[in-house]
């Protein structure tokens, strides 16, 4: 039998350390403490706190007691804060959260690629609360107690914390939580409920993710959900697996969300930026940096349903927009046609090499990308080989993979000219940013 090398498991002796200062915050928003030359990361504490902690892993520790609070510490206003895994920075003032996010981006760029942006612009920010236009809620049905729990997962656990209000959700969505919980608990299909998505669009949208062999809703469920949608002025959709969502009523129209180029039609379940107000500024800023014009041939990667694409192509540039989810590619192409825009929407897996990909044209002179958290290493490697690309705008929701990919672009002859952080996810450690690269 083949033998494989298995690294030895290191067991860490739990050790209690008392009265130590927190000296910094890491990029995941955890406090940093130092012991015998080692750094340990502790959730829920801020620089300037003096704490007692227990070392629980190679680099992990848990806070046992805050002996003295830092001046940066604020009282988290959400009543679910201690259990809910949603917001992990509510104990830090919004001003300090923003300063921290700016610092993290600079540090990660240095750490991964020894890169410094020529210019680090001031953070783009808006409201710190009630900013989320979408949420994914976990559901659990307890048949013995006949009880449905609707809420968010607890910190580092699968347990669901029931929530009846949420301070980061838009007010319209937060107010839906209680009636929704009540209505879902009455459904025949309650056992088939996987999770629920809420989206604040033209009218609020509720998407039920079901498991099992559901092909239609029972007449009783149809009626209950119709009543919910009339009472709460919302639209209900349901889907099994990756199938296109089915509308509760055949008259239901696809929802739209406001974008920098007029409203965009989408299917509930499609990717949607979390923060409606900042999305508008994100798109305006990123497209201004790309500076598209009628003689440009632009490649856009990770295009979604066209949030940036429609704005870029409105300049008259020729745009090839690549996306991995077929229904979003169709939406994008249809909306480009309605607006008479020069967009070729393409379905492709951008983790694959571009050899023999018909859409990969040597004439592209600019590129725009907005990948998921995993980043865009393959795309960046390909862009360094693209003969005519001299300008790249990269929107990222993960500064660590952005920094890694910036290193790839730098090796390939691009220079990071400027970076701007966008505070899309206040109260959490998550960071959105825009980077502009051009050829050295």
Ligand X SMILES: C[S@@+](CC[C@H](N)C(=O)[O-])C[C@H]1O[C@@H](n2cnc3c(N)ncnc32)[C@H](O)[C@@H]1O
How many CB atoms within 10 Å of residue 356? 7
Q: Using the rule CB under 6 A, is 280 a contact of ligand X?
A: no
Residue 233 Cβ vs ligand X, minimum distance, rounded to whole Å: 25
**Chain centroid to CA 351:** 19
- Name the token pair of 46: 């801020």
273 is in an annotated binding site: yes
| 308 vs 355: CA distance, rounded Å | 26
In DSSP notation, 149-196 reads EEEEEBTTSS-EEE-S--SSB-HHHHTTHHHHHHHHHT-GGGGGEEEE
What backbone torsions phi and psi does residue 368 show, to the nearest 5 degrees? -130, 135
For ligand X, how many residues bind (rule: CB under 6 A)?
18
Residue 424 Cβ vs ligand X, minimum distance, rounded to whole Å: 11
* The only residue of 314, 325, 334, 360 in contact with ligand X, by rule CB under 6 A: 325
What backbone torsions phi and psi does residue 391 show, to the nearest 5 degrees? -135, 130
Task: Please identify, using beta-carbon distances, which residue of 174 and 259 lies nearer to ligand X.
Answer: 259
Task: Please identify, using beta-carbon distances, which residue of 308 and 437 lies nearer to ligand X.
Answer: 308
What backbone torsions phi and psi does residue 51 show, to the nearest 5 degrees? -130, 160
Q: Using the rule CB under 6 A, is 350 a contact of ligand X?
A: yes
Q: Decide if 78 is catalytic.
A: no
Residue 350 Cβ vs ligand X, minimum distance, rounded to whole Å: 4
370 is in an annotated binding site: yes
Q: What Å distances lie between residue 193 and 179, 205, 212, 239, 409, CA to CA?
A: 16, 16, 9, 10, 44
Show the site string, 287-306: x = touches ligand X by CB under 6 A, - = not.
Answer: ---------------xxx--
| 411 vs 164: CA distance, rounded Å | 50
- The neighbouring-strand residues paired with 208 are 196, 238
Q: Using the rule CB under 6 A, is 258 a contact of ligand X?
A: no
* The only residue of 271, 314, 417, 438 in contact with ligand X, by rule CB under 6 A: 271
Q: Please count the CA atoms within 13 angstroms of the CA of 344 that sit on its side-chain side.
A: 12
| 292 vs 365: CA distance, rounded Å | 10
Show the site string, 362-381: x = touches ligand X by CB under 6 A, - = not.
Answer: --------xxx---------
- Where in 203-232 is the site for ligand X (CB under 6 A)? none
- The neighbouring-strand residues paired with 52 are 65
Any idea what DSSP says for residue 36?
T
Task: Please identify, using beta-carbon distances, which residue of 328 and 367 lies nearer to ligand X.
Answer: 328
Residue 349 Cβ vs ligand X, minimum distance, rounded to whole Å: 5
Residue 115 Cβ vs ligand X, minimum distance, rounded to whole Å: 22
Task: Please identify, using beta-carbon distances, which residue of 200 and 323 lies nearer to ligand X.
Answer: 323
Task: Please identify, using beta-carbon distances, which residue of 230 and 349 lies nearer to ligand X.
Answer: 349
Stretch of residues binding ligand X (CB under 6 A), selected from 36-44, 66-74, 185-193, 346-354? 346-354
Residue 180 Cβ vs ligand X, minimum distance, rounded to whole Å: 25
Any idea what DSSP says for residue 222?
H
Residue 309 Cβ vs ligand X, minimum distance, rounded to whole Å: 8
How many CB atoms within 10 Å of residue 24? 16
User: Considering only CA atoms, which of 74, 26, 27 is closest in space to residue 49?
Assistant: 74
* The only residue of 216, 230, 251, 349 in contact with ligand X, by rule CB under 6 A: 349
Any idea what DSSP says for residue 47?
T
Show the site string, 387-406: x = touches ligand X by CB under 6 A, - = not.
Answer: ----------x---------
| 119 vs 353: CA distance, rounded Å | 32
Specify binding-site residues for S-adenosyl-L-methionine.
273, 302, 323, 370
- The catalytic site residues sit at 397
Binding site for ligand X (CB under 6 A): 271, 273, 302-304, 307-308, 323-325, 328, 349-351, 370-372, 397
């Amino acid at each position: 039998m083949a033998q494989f090398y298995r690294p030895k498991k290191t067991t860490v002796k739990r050790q209690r350390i008392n009265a130590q200062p927190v000296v910094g915050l890491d990029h995941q928003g955890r406090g940093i403490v130092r012991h015998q030359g080692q750094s340990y990361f502790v959730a829920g504490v801020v620089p300037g706190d003096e704490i007692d902690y227990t070392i629980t892993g190679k680099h992990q520790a848990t806070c046992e007691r805050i002996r003295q609070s830092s001046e940066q510490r604020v009282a988290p206003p959400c009543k679910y804060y201690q259990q809910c895994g949603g917001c992990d920075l509510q104990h830090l003032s919004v001003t300090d959260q923003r300063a921290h996010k700016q610092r993290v981006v600079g540090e990660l760029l240095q750490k991964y690629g020894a890169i410094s942006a020529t210019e680090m612009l001031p953070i783009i920010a808006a409201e710190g609360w009630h900013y989320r236009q979408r949420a994914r809620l976990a559901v659990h049905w307890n048949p013995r107690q006949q009880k449905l729990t609707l809420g968010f997962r607890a910190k580092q656990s699968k347990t669901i914390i029931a929530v009846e209000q949420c301070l980061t959700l838009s007010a319209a969505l937060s107010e839906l939580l209680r009636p929704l919980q009540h209505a879902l608990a009455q459904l025949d299909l309650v056992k088939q409920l996987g999770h629920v998505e809420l989206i604040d669009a033209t009218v609020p949208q509720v998407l039920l993710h079901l498991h099992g062999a559901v092909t239609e809703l029972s007449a009783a469920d149809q009626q209950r959900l119709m009543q919910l949608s009339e009472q709460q002025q919302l639209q209900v959709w349901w889907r099994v697996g990756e199938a296109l969502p089915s509308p509760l009523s055949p008259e239901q129209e696809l929802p739209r969300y406001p974008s920098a180029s007029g409203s965009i039609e989408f299917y509930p379940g499609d990717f949607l930026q979390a923060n409606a107000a900042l999305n508008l500024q994100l798109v305006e800023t990123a497209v201004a940096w790309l500076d598209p014009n009628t003689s440009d041939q632009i490649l856009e990667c990770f295009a979604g349903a066209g949030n940036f694409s429609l704005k870029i192509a409105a300049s008259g540039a020729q745009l090839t927009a690549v996306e991995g989810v077929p229904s979003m590619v169709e939406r994008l192409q249809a909306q480009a046609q309605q607006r008479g825009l020069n967009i070729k929407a393409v379905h492709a897996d951008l983790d694959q090499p571009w050899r023999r990909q018909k859409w990969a044209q040597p004439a592209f002179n600019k590129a725009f990308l907005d990948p998921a958290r995993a980043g865009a290493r393959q795309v960046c490697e390909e862009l360094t080989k693209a003969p005519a690309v001299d300008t790249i705008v990269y929107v990222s929701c993960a500064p660590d993979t952005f920094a890694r990919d910036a290193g790839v672009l730098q090796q390939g002859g691009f220079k990071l000219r400027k970076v701007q952080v966008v505070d899309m996810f206040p109260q959490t450690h998550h960071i959105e940013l825009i980077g502009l690269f051009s050829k050295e």
